[in-house]
Structure 1
Amino acid sequence: MKKIILCLLVSFVTFQISAQGLDKSYKTLDLALAGGSGFSPALSFTKMFGVGKSNRFKIGYGVRLTSFFSNSTIDFRTAPAKLTSGSASFAALFAEDIVANIDTFRLKSIQSNALNISINLQYALSQKLEVGFNIDALGVTFGGKQTGDIVSVKNKRKFVDGSTQSGASPSGLNLLLVSDSDIGGLNSELYGRYWVSDKIGIRAGVSFLFVEYMTDKNVKVNTDDNNRWRYKNLMPMVAVSYKF
């Protein structure tokens, strides 16, 4: 019993000592690279603020530019939550897909850029090791116009002019809501970071990216018109951070 108590005391003291050297706040410049069905570089600036006496937990804000490139065929699906789940609220997170309302819009190449304000959460396990999560909240998307085809094998839907082809561009507005209620291009990351020096850190984790395009033509789904199409991509990610 004495050994257990001693081990707990040593662990507690070590935990407290390691917390004493943590920065109360800091800024980072970060370059992340993610890849899978496409290639996604992200350049970000972040300001983190310590919470509590230990400064282990930090919250912060940032600005991030995320690009996505692909020269292979990518299938986008119907985006609006009202169509995919029947609800444009928090309930969309738990609702089943309404398969009859969902079509596919196919693009053969993509180049999309999203500039967003991000929300950041982080916890320091030690002076060197951190774990964190960030997500885009609000911004704009821009990129080149592409031409794609609607693929609606089961529903046999076409664009309102009777064609199956339309021009499409990245959606302009990005807004974090919840699940399919989200609008536009949004990036989020779950990661661990190791500081190899006082200034340089290496991050690794996963990036979950939403890419959204809007077609020039609408598709009639029941009584609603749709021109928004979303691609969701979960990719492994590595990054280099500079602290200042």
Structure 2
Amino acid sequence: MNERRTALVTGANKGIGFAIAAQLAARGFTVLVGARDATRRAAALSRLTGDVHGVELDVTDEPGVTQAAKEIRTRFGALDVLVNNAGITGDGTQVPGSGGLPEIRRVFDVNVFGVITVTEAMLPLLRPGARVVNVSSSVGSLTDMTAPAGGSLADMPAMLGYPVSKTALNAVTAQYAKHLRHQGILVNAICPGYVATDLNGNDGPRTPDQAATLAVHMATLGPDGPTAAFVDDNGPITW
């Protein structure tokens, strides 16, 4: 059994997830790099330092996620941190009127149902006082998207997949926070900001390392930290 604090990060072979894994490892965690592609997972492990291990994890594959949970229990005993980072943006068929229902379902399968699938499988492994961090986005803020003239992202087209999935993810976060509060487990959602990753063609003003800092902060909150919060670097985001 592992006596170090153990963290599982999904979608950790690149981008924000990789940076989160690296920063947690630097803090002395045993870090489990969750990724579905074996080659990319191995490449990520070769670039990381510290006590890091790969876990085969496709968040849309429920039997595979169940098997990953069994492997984690056998090899590491329990989890102190779960970071649900894996996510996709989807393509332009999410725009209303574009007939993109299959793409909308694909986005929800990863961004919402994938988070639920992983969290449900890992619930029995979470120690009392564990931390769960869900990587969300301010595009899911109902307050912002219903603001006059379209809010702060007025230049972003209306989409039925990505932003709506993040709204749903925020609700999922609140429900898990409610369920786990009595165990001292804090569950929060973060917005990493507009980060240069493969999701946007590496076009963004923030680096994955900058974005990961907030996730790691929320993953290492003290017992008096918030739960059911939705935050970015500037503090709480309106729901």
TM range (shorter): under 0.3
Which has the larger helix fraction?
Answer: 2
TM-score by length of structure 2 reads 0.21
Which structure is larger by alpha-carbon Rg, 1 or 2? 1
TM-score by length of structure 1 reads 0.21
